[in-house]
Structure 1
C-alpha cells in the first residue's frame, strides 16, 4: 500500500475550522488591499475638486507606504506576542476612520493624514504579515508556501471588484460617495478579523524551529544572514514597481487619451490575475527553489514594464500588460513568507517579514512620490518607468544568488523532530 498524503491542515484542526480561519484572513486581506490598490483612481477627481497638485496626492500615498513599512515590524511583533485578533480588529476600525477623514478632506494635509498615515498603520494590522502568520499556524509545514499563495490569491479578489466599483461610483456620484462605499467595505473587515483570529488558539509546530528562542536571538540571526539581507533589498524594488503602477497608471492612460474606465479595468485585471499568480507561485514554492522564482518574477516584470511603455498604448496592450503584471504581482508574497519560514521558523514570522516589508515600503514610497515629482517636472512618466525597469532587472539577478540555508537552530529543531524517539 502507498502511504496516504499528509493532510493540508494542522492536526489540531478540522477541515471546516481550517477553511473558516483561512477564509477570514483572506477576506480581511482582500478588502484591505483592494481598497488600497484602488486609491490611484481618486487622484484626478480629488486634485481637481480640492485644488491640489498630483504631487500632493502622490505624496499622501507615498506617506501611506512608508508608514505601512515602518509600522509593519511593530505590528508583526505585537502579533507574535499577543496574537492576531486584537491587532486585526484595531486595523479594521482605523481603516474605516481613515476613509471617513479622507471623504471630508478639504486640504492636502487631510488627505495625507487619512489616506496616508492612518491607512498606512491600518494596512500593517490587516494585510499580508498578519495573514501569513494565520496561514502558517493553520497548515502543515510542508504545505506552507501553498497556503501563503492561497490566502494571497483569495486576497487578490479585492482589487478585481474594488477598482471598477470605485470608478463606477466616482463617475455616477462623485469621489466622496465612493469613499463612503469603501467605509462600508472596511466595516466588513471586522467579522473577517474575528474569524481569522481563531488561529491564535492553534499551538506552534515544534518542527518549525519556533520554540525556545527569543526575539532578540532571532533578530540577531536575521542580521547575520546574507540571504535575508539580499531578499529584503530586492523587496525594495518590488514595492517601487508596483506602487508606481497603482498610483500613476490611471493618470498615464488619461494622458494618452484613453477612456477613464480603462485604468479601473487594468487594476481589475491585475487583481484577477493576482489570484492565479498567487496560487501558482505558492504551489511552485513548495516544489522549486523559492529564490529562483523570485528572481524570475523581478526580471520578467521589468521586461514587461519596458515593453509596455515603449509600445503604443491601446486597450488591448494595457489589458495584456495588466494580466502579465497581475500574474507576477502578489506571487512574491508566498515566496518571501516561505523563505522566512524556511530559514528562521515561524515563531517570529510576522516580525521578520515585517522588517523585510519595511524595505518594500521604502521602495513603495519612492515609486508613488518620485513618480509624481517626475511627472510634474517633466510632463511625462518616461524617466520613471525607465528607472523602474532598470533597477528591477538588477534586483532579479541579485535575488537568483541568495543564500537560503536555514539557521543552525532551525536545522537542529528539524533534526530533533524527525529523529526516532529513543
Structure 2
C-alpha cells in the first residue's frame, strides 16, 4: 500500500493486491495463526504429568524436551527471519513453518515408546518450526503495513500479540479435557490438525514494501469523498517543514551489516536483550512447571490447568493495553514498571500460603504482564533502530528470551528431581525480575538517525 491519500483508484486495484496490502486482513490472519500456534505450544505443561505417568520417564526427561524446544526456537529465529526478509518472503516462511509444526505434533503421537523420538519431535521439529510462525516474523510483516513509529502500528502490535495470549486461554482447558478423554497421544494429533487448517491464512501475510514514517507536518483529518468516509493526510499550515525529509532510511540502517553492527555495539540493544531473557525464564518456568507445582501442593489438576488460562486471559488485556500505553509512556519505562510489578507479585506469591484463592489472584494479576513484553520490546527496538530490519533485530533479541526460556523449563525439572521442590526457582524468578528492572531502567531510548550519521 502506498502512502498517498485513499482515493477511488484504490478500489480499482486487483482484489489480490488489495488483500495483500490490507492492514485489517493481515492483522486478522496473523492473529489467528498466533492464536493457534502459541496457544498450542503453551499447553505443554498440561502434558507433563500425563506423559511421565504413561511412559515412566522422570520430569527432567520431559523438561529437557521443553527446554530444548525453547532453545531451538530461539536459535533458529534469526535464520528464519533472514529467509523471510531476504529470500522467500514472510508468507512462504510462515506457511512452511506451520506445516512442519503440524508434522512434529503428528510425530509425537508415535513417541510413547522412545524418549529420544519425543525429544526430537518436540524440541527439534516443533521448536525450529515455531520460529517461523511466532511473534518476530508475524509482527514484522504486519508492521510493514503501517507507518513506522505510528500510533496505529503500536496498537496493531498490541492487538495481534494479544491473540497469542488468547490462544493460551482457549487451548489449555481444551488440552486438559482431551488428555482425560482421548489420552495425550491423540491430543497431539488433534492439535496438529488444527495447524493444518490455518495454513491458507499465510497467503495474507506475504511481504509488502514497508511504509515510511509519517512526517511531523501531517495530521489526520476525516472528510467525506464521494459519500464515503475516508482518512486523508493533510499538511498543517502552521507548522514548519523539517530540515530534511523523513524517510525509511532516516531511522533504519541501509543494509543488514550496518544494522547488526549498530545493534551489537549499542548498550540499548544489549539491555533490551538481557531484560527480554528474564521474560523468557519467567514464562517458560511457569508454563512448564506451574500446573505440576500446583498439583504437588494439592490443587486439583483441572483447576491447575485453568490457572494458565487465567494467565493468558490477563495477558490479552495487558498486551492490548500496552499498545495504547506506549502512546503516552516510552517502551523503556513501560518495561521497567512491568518487571517491577512482576517482582512484587513473586514476593507475595512466595511468602503467602498456597490456596486456590491466592493462586487465582496471582494468575489474574501476573497475567496482565505475561506477554506484554512482546509488543513493548518490538516497539522499543523499532523506535531506536528502525523497522527495515526489525524482524532480524527482534529475532536476535528473541534468542536471549529463549535461552532464558530453556533455563526456566529444563532447570526447573532438574532441580525438582534433585530436591523435590520448586522453591529455589521461585527465588530465582524474583532475583531475575529485579535484574530486568535495572537493565531496562538504565537503557537509553534515543533513536539512531542513520542519515545524519552518514550510514
Using the size of structure 2 for normalisation, the TM-score is 0.85
After TM superposition, the structure 1 stretch with the greater mean CA deviation from structure 2, 380-389 or 187-196, is 187-196
- Residue 140 of structure 2 corresponds to 133
User: Separation in 1 of the partners of 2:309 and 2:147?
Assistant: 32
Residue 379 and residue 339 in structure 1: after superposition, are their counterparts in 2 closer, same or farther (change >3 A)?
same
- Residue 189 of structure 1 corresponds to 198
- Residue 120 of structure 2 corresponds to 113
Q: Deviations over 1:29-66 (max 9, x none)?
A: 11111011111110111111111110000100000001
Residue 16 and residue 221 in structure 1: after superposition, are their counterparts in 2 closer, same or farther (change >3 A)?
closer
Q: Deviations over 1:82-112 (max 9, x none)?
A: 3211110111111111111111102211121
User: Separation in 1 of the partners of 2:173 and 2:452?
Assistant: 48
User: Separation in 2 of the partners of 1:211 and 1:380?
Assistant: 48
Q: Is the 8 A contact 1:344 1:410 kept in 2?
A: no
Residue 410 and residue 123 in structure 1: after superposition, are their counterparts in 2 closer, same or farther (change >3 A)?
farther
Structure 1 position 306, deviation (Å): 2.7
2:228 aligned with 1:223? no
Q: How do residues 240-389 of structure 1 correspond to structure 2 at under 5 angstroms?
A: 240-389=281-430
Q: Is the 8 A contact 1:299 1:397 kept in 2?
A: no
User: Separation in 2 of the partners of 1:369 and 1:80?
Assistant: 32
Structure 1 position 155, deviation (Å): 2.7
Q: Deviations over 1:235-272 (max 9, x none)?
A: 11110111000000011011011110112101111111
User: Separation in 1 of the partners of 2:139 and 2:452?
Assistant: 22
Q: 2:130 aligns with which of 123, 126, 144?
A: 123
Larger Cα Rg: Structure 1 or Structure 2?
A: 2
Using the size of structure 1 for normalisation, the TM-score is 0.91
Structure 1 position 151, deviation (Å): 0.6
2:182 aligned with 1:173? yes
User: Separation in 1 of the partners of 2:427 and 2:147?
Assistant: 42
Q: Is the 8 A contact 2:144 2:208 kept in 1?
A: no
After TM superposition, the structure 1 stretch with the greater mean CA deviation from structure 2, 290-299 or 240-249, is 290-299
Q: 2:101 aligns with which of 95, 98, 122?
A: 95
Residue 189 and residue 290 in structure 1: after superposition, are their counterparts in 2 closer, same or farther (change >3 A)?
same
- Residue 36 of structure 1 corresponds to 41
1:303 aligned counterpart, secondary structure:
helix
Report how many aligned residue pairs link the two structures.
403
Q: Deviations over 1:254-310 (max 9, x none)?
A: 101111011210111111111100011111112211111101111211221232233
Residue 212 and residue 273 in structure 1: after superposition, are their counterparts in 2 closer, same or farther (change >3 A)?
closer
User: Separation in 1 of the partners of 2:210 and 2:48?
Assistant: 45
User: Separation in 2 of the partners of 1:326 and 1:193?
Assistant: 29
After TM superposition, the structure 1 stretch with the greater mean CA deviation from structure 2, 12-21 or 170-179, is 12-21
User: Cα RMSD (Å) of the superposition?
Assistant: 2.1
- Residue 170 of structure 2 corresponds to 161
1:125 aligned counterpart, secondary structure:
coil
Instruction: Give the gaps of 5 or more residues in structure 2.
Output: 11-16, 214-246
Q: Is the 8 A contact 1:343 1:410 kept in 2?
A: no
Q: Is the 8 A contact 1:163 1:267 kept in 2?
A: yes
Structure 1 position 13, deviation (Å): 6.2
- Residue 225 of structure 2 corresponds to none
